[in-house]
Structure 1
Amino acid sequence: MEVFGDSNLVLNQIQGNWRTRDVKLRSYRAYLELLVRRFDDLRYAHLPRAQNQLAKALTTLASFMDFPIDVVMRPLVIESRIAPVYYCLIGETEVQDDLPWYHDIYQFLRSGTYPEVATAKDRRAPRQLATRFVICGETLYRRSTDGMFLLCLGRASAN
């Protein structure tokens, strides 16, 4: 097993090079010593914090869970995509009509109208979402946090 860490202090403590002086970390160290015995070959590698964001997120998630020592955990499969996730999800969603995902926002910005079946509660969403979008010509753009306009995929119909 290869262990990657972004803390030289922790890596050196795990390998036994340094003592664990912090009382709060001693129970973790004791538990880790039990886990280490399960592996025949164990290697440690230091990663800069900027390259270890996924591990930090997984560590945070794991800290909320209680794993019994005798339970075998299934591997966590992580899929890497070259396109942004929201772009992938747009193509995977089930379309119930031929209108683009942003049709209601477009119509609200263009004419101030809501979908015909919208209740008073449903009308809040297009109003709130519309503050993040702008129409230039006939094209809808989303305002990004850095001020850039992001082109919305597809074109809203003029219905």
Structure 2
Amino acid sequence: MAIEIGISHLEVFGDSKLIINQTLEQYDVKKENLVPYCKYAKKLLANFEEITLEHILRKENRQADALANLATTLALSQEETAKVAVSQRWVVPSVIEEEKEEKQANIISVCLVENEDWRQTIIEYLQHGRLPDDVRHKTEVRRRAA
């Protein structure tokens, strides 16, 4: 959205110190499944004259979470939103070579997450009211969902 409205100076706040430092190239990206995200973020950041990336604590991140959810909702149409299982698939625009970009614009790459996402039980509870059978896990899911 910032690119579309022509913002030239951008402040980015994130609650993942690892991701912020990887984007700033202070840390290496060691997990192969994060490489496309980092490349795409750097490609997007190149559209701005001045960028500030700053780490903030998770407990101070409510506004950022709300903005991220809004951006995701605006990026996907109603039909696309219904097809994407948030906890099982990650949707990232393809990071492609510059010379191929004209031919392959607007391509979306979907990667399956092999390990079950820790948020899956919370999503199941919030969307469908389903809780795990284990009493301890039921309590934990209810607490985390709040």
Query: Which range, TM-score by smaller chain?
Result: 0.3 to 0.5
Q: TM-score by structure 2 length?
A: 0.41
Point out which structure has higher relative CO (alpha carbons under 8 A, 6+ apart): 2
Q: TM-score by structure 1 length?
A: 0.38
More helix by share: 2
Larger radius of gyration: 1
